[in-house]
Amino acid sequence: MLNIETPEIKYVIHAVRQASRLVKQIQAEMVSPALTKDDRSPVTVADFAAQALVGHLLDKNFPDDPLVGEEDSSALHTPEEQTTLERITAFVSRFTAGATPETVCQWIDRGTAISAPRFWTIDPIDGTKGFLRGDQYAVALALIEEGQVQIGALGCPNLSPLSLQGRGVRACTERSRIGEGVLIVAARGQGTWAGTLDGELDLRPLSVSERSGPAQARLLRSLESGHTHADQIERFSEAFGVQADPLRMDSQAKYAVLAAGQAEIYLRLLSPKLPDYREKIWDQAAGTIVIEEAGGRVTDLDGRALDFTRGRTLTNNRGICATNGVLHEAVLESLKIIGA
């Protein structure tokens, strides 16, 4: 059972629920069909606002804990970004008293810390293009101690709870109805649990699927081809013998779907444009423990455990291989065959 009275678990649940509600409001009010392709202002506001709120709540609960995040407030101090800072402050003030441009910048800059024996890592908006399209995105927060992820939570405002209940591919790709959305929380040795982002905290356990046949394995794929090596994904599917249609969606919401047993494989292969790219820790920490505590397995493409001791990136790891565990070694073998 998940001990929701543990201070760290209580904090991560509250912080991710609040931040998810905040960014959902920003998406509803700022993302519209009239938005131009190059206008990233909604995701900029949401990124900063969510990190500020999480940083503020960390100050209240664990003031001595470092936070490693994607954003810092330096750009917001310029005259050109004054309006952006005012918007961020206005949204954050809906969730906490005392939000001023100065305090908001201080809360954002909690995320500029360096990793330590114990620290938190935040991705305020994972899946920025999904956010701008009105599709899938996630708020991701994790606690890392001595290089091991101990607690992780994903807030997926547009993921329908039906997608975690065996309702099929269509339910996974459809957006949540107003008032829903999914919270996923995992703690080391306590399993992975799912509930809604609003209302009573009614958590239920998740577990990965037991499918062991390659032909029926469901592969999670990103909508954005630049995030991975699309050609190698196709070659992998052929080499592994995948016959099931892939499930395409943005963000770490894919980890929630895999943990719930609605898919079996997710790969982050190296893009040919960025062969030396290394994953940021905030892009993988929460999703990793969500999969592992649901019974699955996450390694890099060479089968090595993810190393969260090297700062802001997974310097010692190459790509990501996440599976239901049963298929993991066979997936790694197929990746070797295609030279991934």
204: which residues sit within 8 A by CB, 6+ positions away? Answer: 193, 194, 195
Distance CA 215, CA 253 (A): 24
- Of the candidates 180, 324, 195, 334, which has an alpha carbon nearest to the alpha carbon of residue 269? 334
As annotated, the active-site residues are 47, 128
Distance CA 244, CA 248 (A): 12
Distance CA 213, CA 279 (A): 29
* Number of residues written out for the chain: 340
Reported as half-sphere exposure (CB side, CA atoms, 13 A), residue 335 has a value of: 24
What does each C-alpha distance from 37 to 32, 34, 42, 56, 180 come to in angstroms?
A: 11, 9, 12, 32, 28
C-beta atoms surrounding 226 within 10 Å: 11
Beta strands in 94-208 (DSSP E): 118-126, 138-145, 148-156, 182-187, 191-196, 204-206
What does each C-alpha distance from 31 to 71, 121, 135, 235, 241 come to in angstroms?
A: 21, 26, 11, 36, 40
- Of the candidates 124, 126, 66, which has an alpha carbon nearest to the alpha carbon of residue 279? 126
What does each C-alpha distance from 124 to 47, 55, 216, 295 come to in angstroms?
A: 5, 11, 34, 26
Please state the separation of Cα 122 from the chain's center in Å.
Answer: 9
Distance CA 61, CA 48 (A): 20
